[in-house]
């Protein structure tokens, strides 16, 4: 962040004034900044709203998280929850707290990432309020979405026979994080006098893991596929705090139990390889690693075959059960272990 880093002149936000800074960030974006965002009037829609808070040092580390990627990813964090609930995102609102070490050019990078996500995902209204922070960068992001009432009224209900599907592998982002933490630790051991000569290590062999952490993606056409096929999930979750956390959340929300099968959980080969290299348990990464940015969907049992045919990219990892079972992980040997997740 420091002025010296880029060699380019950087502009303190106080030089511009925050309103002027905000106005510049919206210039040419096609959006008008607003404090109170009014929903467009429509007759037959339902709306949903979600809010997320990302704090520096907890949710991201700017040593290795480029600001533009962070802006993009922070938008997906909110948009993912909207999609998971079967709504189309329409509104995105940011409150960004900044300490004095951030310059206008830094925020412009962050905002470029936000704008890219907003455009890709059809956001119609966007808002930003910059505020001061004592320490570091704080990002509060809210999103609202809409869906036809007709669709929401006719959604299937989760029951004790519903299947659990996942839209991709889990644990890779967590492994990406460990790659970067290792490099950061190695760099910190270099004497300050030699830091200038430090050559960034070749991380290209970890490209997949790093991309899962730093630049996850969501297919903006996801809901359209459900619509075309007339196959809507009974419930959906955006997996950001680990698969186990999400399954436990699902059990609490539905009042049901769940069984997921260890050998059905998709884990990338790179995740296994890296887990071995770093001596980390790949299963723990997959269940509790977090930051996966994949979806968990609840599918009615009687739609099973059609789902399987229309969505071959989704993996069935288990099913709901009665509430007496709780959230259970079934091992390949058939043993049932209680699912554990931080926070529960």
Neighbours of 150 (CB within 10 A): 10
Q: Does the protein bind a copy of itself through residue 27 (CB under 8 A)?
A: no
**Span interacting with a copy of itself, options 38-46, 115-123, 181-189, 309-317, rule CB under 8 A:** 38-46
Quick one: 85 or 219, whose CB is closer to a copy of itself? 85
d(CA 36, CA 86): 24
Of 10, 29, 55, 156, which lies in the binding site for a copy of itself, with binding defined by CB under 8 A? 55
Q: x/- site string to a copy of itself, residues 136 to 165, per CB under 8 A?
A: x-x-x-x-x-x--x--x-------------
d(CA 118, CA 324): 42
Quick one: 144 or 212, whose CB is closer to a copy of itself? 144
Of 4, 8, 28, 134, which lies in the binding site for a copy of itself, with binding defined by CB under 8 A? 134
Q: Least Å distance between CB 139 and a copy of itself? A: 9
Q: Least Å distance between CB 74 and a copy of itself? A: 12
Quick one: 6 or 42, whose CB is closer to a copy of itself? 42
Of 109, 133, 219, 284, which lies in the binding site for a copy of itself, with binding defined by CB under 8 A? 133
Quick one: 46 or 211, whose CB is closer to a copy of itself? 46
Q: Least Å distance between CB 148 and a copy of itself? A: 11
Q: Least Å distance between CB 126 and a copy of itself? A: 12
d(CA 306, CA 297): 15
Q: Least Å distance between CB 295 and a copy of itself? A: 13
Rounded (10°) CA dihedral 48, 49, 54, 58: -60
Whether 165 contacts 266, CB under 8 Å = no
Quick one: 33 or 321, whose CB is closer to a copy of itself? 33
**Beta-ladder partners of 163:** 299, 319
Whether 234 contacts 158, CB under 8 Å = yes
Count of alpha carbons within 13 Å of 291, Cβ hemisphere only? 25
Neighbours of 5 (CB within 10 A): 8
Q: x/- site string to a copy of itself, residues 249 to 288, per CB under 8 A?
A: x--x------------------------------------
Q: Tell me which H or E stretch contains 315.
A: strand 315-321
User: What angle, 0 to 180 degrees and rounded to 10, lies between the N-to-C axes of helices 67-84 and 104-120?
Assistant: 30
Instruction: Find the radius of gyration of the CA atoms of the chain.
Output: 22
Residue whose tokens read 């600001």: 67
Q: Does the protein bind a copy of itself through residue 48 (CB under 8 A)?
A: yes
**Span interacting with a copy of itself, options 54-62, 104-112, 272-280, 331-339, rule CB under 8 A:** 54-62
d(CA 220, CA 335): 38
Long-range contacts of 116-121 (CB under 8 A, 24+ apart): 116/68, 116/71, 116/72, 117/71, 117/72, 117/75, 117/76, 117/79, 117/92, 118/31, 118/75, 118/92, 119/30, 120/220, 121/75, 121/79, 121/89, 121/218, 121/220
Q: x/- site string to a copy of itself, residues 66 to 105, per CB under 8 A?
A: ---------------xx-xx-----x-x-xxx--------
Q: Does the protein bind a copy of itself through residue 47 (CB under 8 A)?
A: yes
Whether 83 contacts 146, CB under 8 Å = no
Of 12, 122, 132, 309, which lies in the binding site for a copy of itself, with binding defined by CB under 8 A? 132
Residues written for the chain: 344
Of 1, 10, 26, 49, which lies in the binding site for a copy of itself, with binding defined by CB under 8 A? 49
Quick one: 34 or 161, whose CB is closer to a copy of itself? 34
Whether 10 contacts 67, CB under 8 Å = no
d(CA 342, CA 323): 21
User: Which spans of this chain sit near a copy of itself (rule: CB under 8 A)?
Assistant: 17-20, 35-53, 55-59, 81-82, 84-85, 91, 93, 95-97, 127, 129, 131-136, 138, 140, 142, 144, 146, 149, 152, 248-249, 252, 343-344
């Amino acid at each position: 962040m420091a002025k010296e880093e880029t060699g380019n002149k950087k502009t303190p936000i106080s030089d511009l004034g925050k309103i002027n800074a905000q106005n510049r960030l919206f210039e040419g974006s096609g959006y008008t900044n607003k404090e109170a965002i009014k929903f467009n009037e429509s007759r037959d829609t339902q709306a949903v709203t979600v809010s997320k808070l990302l704090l520096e040092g907890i949710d991201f580390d700017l040593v290795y998280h480029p600001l533009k990627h962070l802006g993009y990813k922070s938008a997906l964090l909110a948009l993912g929850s909207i999609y998971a609930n079967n709504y189309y995102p329409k509104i995105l609102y940011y409150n960004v707290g900044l300490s004095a070490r951030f310059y206008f050019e830094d925020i412009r990078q962050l905002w470029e990432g936000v704008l890219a996500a907003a455009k890709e995902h059809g956001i119609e209204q966007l808002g930003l309020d910059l505020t001061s922070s004592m320490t570091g960068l704080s990002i509060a992001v809210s999103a609202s979405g809409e869906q036809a009432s007709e669709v929401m009224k006719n959604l299937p209900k989760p029951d004790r026979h519903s299947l659990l599907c996942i839209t991709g592998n889990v644990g890779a982002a967590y492994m990406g994080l460990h790659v970067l933490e290792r490099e950061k630790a190695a760099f910190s051991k270099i004497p300050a006098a030699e830091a200038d000569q430090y050559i960034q290590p070749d991380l290209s062999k970890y490209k997949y893991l790093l991309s899962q952490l730093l630049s996850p993606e969501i297919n903006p056409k996801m809901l359209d596929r459900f619509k075309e096929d007339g196959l809507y999930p009974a419930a959906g979750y955006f997996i950001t705090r680990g698969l186990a956390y999400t399954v436990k959340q699902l059990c609490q929300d539905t009042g049901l139990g769940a069984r997921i099968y260890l050998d059905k959980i998709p884990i990338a080969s790179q995740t296994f390889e890296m887990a071995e290299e770093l001596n980390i348990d790949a299963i723990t990464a997959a269940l509790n690693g977090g930051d996966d940015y994949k979806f968990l969907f609840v599918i009615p049992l009687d739609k099973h075959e059609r789902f399987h045919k229309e969505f071959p990219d989704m993996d069935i990892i288990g099913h709901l059960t009665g509430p007496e079972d709780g959230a259970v992980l079934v091992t390949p040997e058939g043993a049932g272990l209680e699912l554990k997740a931080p926070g529960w």
